[in-house]
Structure 1
């Protein structure tokens, strides 16, 4: 028996919190979610960076990761993602390198151009330049995070003999991944540097259809630049909420899905929700097929579909959407850990083989057990007599004798 590469599971925590909630408690609950995931055995959590629009509350993924690392033992923690045009590359590299040491190698570095145009606007950064600046910053960040000395002159930052004070804890550096959705920007950057790819919105129609194409772009760029792409470093982000029944799951997401839909239709400049559906917003959104709101079997089927469409990837990240209340959200993660993860990590392969083997040989094992018990009773009777031997025990001895295989000469 040859086991497949173990598919990892985690969450992409933007996070999403509606305007009627206490923001202090909301961030606290995000920390508790990471702790809950660590206890359940999830492998990764990626934390977002946002500065406007009031829904995605974490401004510094590095600060959040430092706190989460102290509360967890095993889960790896990534910036999901650091918006490169908003930071001087030397300062960002130094913070990530420090976290690499503080977490003993559990930190990951996710990079992107910045998702909200409103963030860039407040900092006077032209939206049209965000992706170019991401590419330029990533070129030097990859080298800095490997401990190299870098000099670089740009119209928005300078580096003069720049080097991190501490040698990276992880070798050759922290793991790096670039965000990608529909455009080829992220895939090209990942291929150029031979780093991981973080595919956001993988279960939306556009994101799903772009999976194979973006991976092909990354591989082509890798070949041109003398690097290689590793499917195990490819993360796909999708939307799920799981319950015991589909009806129960749908009822649970009515708690917060409509507020999430409002954010993406009226506030955020991201194509997560189309403008042309009408009627009950929850039913209309679920009809799009972007999300799995249902049972563990439906979650398994969707991930299998993603494996087939993509050609294979290393980690599935659930978008942490807060569509359900806190108790039902925790239960959803628990059900995924209990019933979905084992399917993709072959956790019960040996258990099934062991159960099948015992079942197939049950008759032989039962007869041997009865014979062994009967022999011990007979020994007792020969020593102490039959005064205290019940009829049931006599019947057991007779049954064991009848079941004992005939010995051949």
Structure 2
């Protein structure tokens, strides 16, 4: 059983982006000291939901501040990046960290990022399979070349070369099938519950014809307090201050309607579904997720209180009072 920390670099209204980024690195160090297996850093652009625009860059800082813990991206947005450029960055982090880096990638969304970075809506709508295949080729060989719709170039050496298998964020049946066909592990989001995660894993196995590589990862909210009532009360008070302005930052690149979610209902869902509560309740929630889904790797979003001292205390308390019982 692997338990990690998921850091969104969430900006609450009273904090600056710079403070959040510095606090994120401090949280990575605390997670290593608390005994977590890994930390995963999110990437977002032009919004307060998450203020880290380059998960790979911040992962490099985190690797330099630690010595044992694994560090991953959750995720680097592939629709706005050149796959070979991202592969080169991943290779650097893999080599200098002695293999502690994991690259997580995702398709992203139809957001204004595509306009700003010039990759365009077509890269999002139909270019993800080509981008993923080129990324995998660059991470698996000593040379790479391309002759597709979106990428076309002569063979070049990969310097430095590496051997990495990316993890793919999956939120749709199409992406689940794509990951399964390529034999790549999935990263499942905290916006779905155990039964939905289990269904996506079943779909993966069907698409993979029974062959499953292992290594799937699932994000959940993690918030521990003296009692479950206290933990739920805290998140009901704090999460809307982050989620309301944060989710509003998703701006479509075209005229399509932006998806909306009832914030109060979403917070209630997160509290009821994930390890939010007393230490004993958190242990039971994690065990239930493992039982229902078969997952063996969970990462906990620990920033829900919106206060750095509380976030660090949350990490340390999970390390002392939850992780030993889950692993036992």
TM > 0.5: yes
Distance 2:147 2:61 in 1: 35
Alignment of 1:259-338 (within 5 A): 259-263=241-245, 266-268=248-250, 274-275=261-262, 281=264, 285-286=267-268, 289-310=272-293, 312-338=294-320
In structure 2, the partner of 1:32 is: 26
Distance 1:267 1:79 in 2: 21
1:256 is paired with a residue whose SS is: helix
- Counterpart contact for 1:242–1:295, Cα < 8 Å: yes
Return the match for 2:321 from 339, 344, 348: 339
Cα offset for 1:24?
1.2
Are residues 1:161 and 2:148 paired?
no
- Counterpart contact for 1:34–1:45, Cα < 8 Å: yes
Q: Could you list the per-position Cα deviations for residues 250-292 of structure 1 after superposition, in whole angstroms to 9, with x for gaps in the alignment?
A: 45436631212313553447999832x7xxx4x9832662444
- Counterpart contact for 1:14–1:49, Cα < 8 Å: yes
In structure 1, the partner of 2:240 is: 258
Q: Label 1:267 to 1:91 Cα distance change in 2 as closer, same or farther (>3 A).
A: closer
Return the match for 1:176 from 166, 179, 184: 166
Q: Which has the higher contact order (CA 8 A, sep 6+)?
A: 2
Cα offset for 1:246?
2.5
Q: Label 1:317 to 1:174 Cα distance change in 2 as closer, same or farther (>3 A).
A: same
Cα offset for 1:118?
2.8
Distance 1:246 1:272 in 2: 31
Distance 1:178 1:268 in 2: 21
CA RMSD of aligned residues (A): 2.6
Q: How many residues align?
A: 322
- Counterpart contact for 1:264–1:273, Cα < 8 Å: no
- Counterpart contact for 2:10–2:20, Cα < 8 Å: no
Q: Label 1:121 to 1:309 Cα distance change in 2 as closer, same or farther (>3 A).
A: farther
- Counterpart contact for 2:11–2:50, Cα < 8 Å: yes
Q: Which moved more, 1:211-220 or 1:61-70?
A: 211-220
1:11 is paired with a residue whose SS is: strand
In structure 2, the partner of 1:355 is: none
Q: Which sections of structure 2, spanning at least 5 residues, go unmatched?
A: 253-257
Cα offset for 1:344?
2.3
- Counterpart contact for 2:275–2:286, Cα < 8 Å: no
Instruction: From the CA coordinates, give the structure whose radius of gyration is larger.
Output: 1
- Counterpart contact for 1:179–1:198, Cα < 8 Å: yes
